Structure 1
């Protein structure tokens, strides 16, 4: 069985195009999701963007990308439950109060980010999650929530804060390299002491 954080490299050369992505995420609550949707529209109008805001059901903060696969790897999905059932971490506040574009060229994400105590819980929880699954931190974790993708850059600036209490984390399956990019929550785990 593959470890949840490892992508098998068997058969390289004739590898089929990946169709399925797995990642752990924190989902915003209903109020934060609605606020993010409105903010995406405001940013689009204020900066003359042509990108379409993401559907609200796709809004999330990625904690850890498990990999891209040709087909949904049921062994990894099945291994996630036992690996995470003992994880203990209390609910925490998330505050995203900065808008910006990630990347330098091409169609890139316009995101909401935060700093300091507003994202400290996300950073600490991501480290606890990686420890629970035996993964390694890359040191590049920048908590953010993508709003849309656009060719034009949005300079970093303050926005009205989007705030919620993270009470659970999820395993998400995302269809990739397909006409329709849908997200499906495969498993949920409560945050608890």
Structure 2
């Protein structure tokens, strides 16, 4: 979850692609998650409506940063990238070793996805985000937060075909994201 990096009361802005049409419904995600629950009994699950693929984390601040938002929007304008398909096929703990994010991750990424990620990365660096933009990419959905060393049993894979990407802002302690922009994929 992006807001987990922020301190209380601090704002975070981040790029993420949302899993849009077609994607499993929240009901199907809950059913899939219940299959994992016996192996991960101490996991605090994230609401499926908040699932997203984080592309680039842009940083955090002590208040709204209109300059960041404007630069991120400018970087995204005119950039759509190719549509891609992603197969999330294994559980992977990421982040804080004491309270790791339990994620559903991809063993491999398509050429289209990597080209999209790198293209957006280049535009964000040119827009002044070079200190925050990631240098590597592990496509994943954060399913929840677990105890150290969570079990990672084999799981059924989930195919995703996002139709766009969004700029979001999250605030530590608040459950909803603020959507600051949306751009479609495959509209070059």
Structure 1 stretch 104-113 or stretch 33-42: which is displaced more? Answer: 33-42
Deviations 1:26-76 (A, max 9, x none): 1113633534333223212x2142223111221111100000111121111
Question: Alpha-carbon deviations, 1:67-119, whole Å to 9, x = none?
Answer: 011112111112222222121412111210111222573111110001224x5
Find the counterpart in structure 1 of residue 71 from structure 2: 79
Secondary structure (helix, strand or coil) at the match of 1:158 reads coil
1:124-161 CA deviation, whole Å, 9 max, x = no partner?
A: 32111011222556443211110000114334443212
Mapped partners of 2:167, 2:114: distance in 1: 17
Is the Cα–Cα contact under 8 Å of residues 61 and 144 in structure 1 kept in the other structure? yes
**Equivalent of residue 56 in structure 2, options 53, 56, 64:** 64
The aligned residue for residue 92 of structure 1 is 84
The partner residue of 2:122 within 131, 136, 158 is 131
Which structure has the higher relative contact order (CA within 8 Å, separation 6+)? 2
Q: TM-score, normalization: structure 2?
A: 0.80
The residue number in structure 2 matching 1:188 is 182
The equivalent of 1:160 in structure 2 is 156
Task: Give the greater-gyration-radius structure (CA).
Answer: 1
Question: Which ranges of 4 or more aligned residues in structure 1 deviate by more than 4 Å?
Answer: 135-138
Q: How many residues align structurally? A: 174
Provide the C-alpha distance between the structure 1 equivalents of 2:155 and 2:92, rounded to a whole number of angstroms.
Answer: 10
Residue in 2 aligned with 1:101?
A: 93
Give the conservation status (yes or no) of the 8 Å contact 2:39–2:153. Answer: no
Higher mean alpha-carbon deviation, 89-98 vs 180-189, is at 180-189
Stretches of structure 2 that go unaligned for 5 or more consecutive residues are 1-6
- Under a length normalisation based on structure 1, what TM-score does the superposition of the two structures give? 0.78
C-alpha spacing 1:184/1:37, structure 2 compared with 1 (3 Å): farther
Instruction: Give the secondary structure class of the aligned counterpart of 2:104.
Output: strand
Contact 2:80–2:183 at 8 Å: present in 1 too? Answer: no
Where 2:24 maps in the other structure, the secondary structure is helix
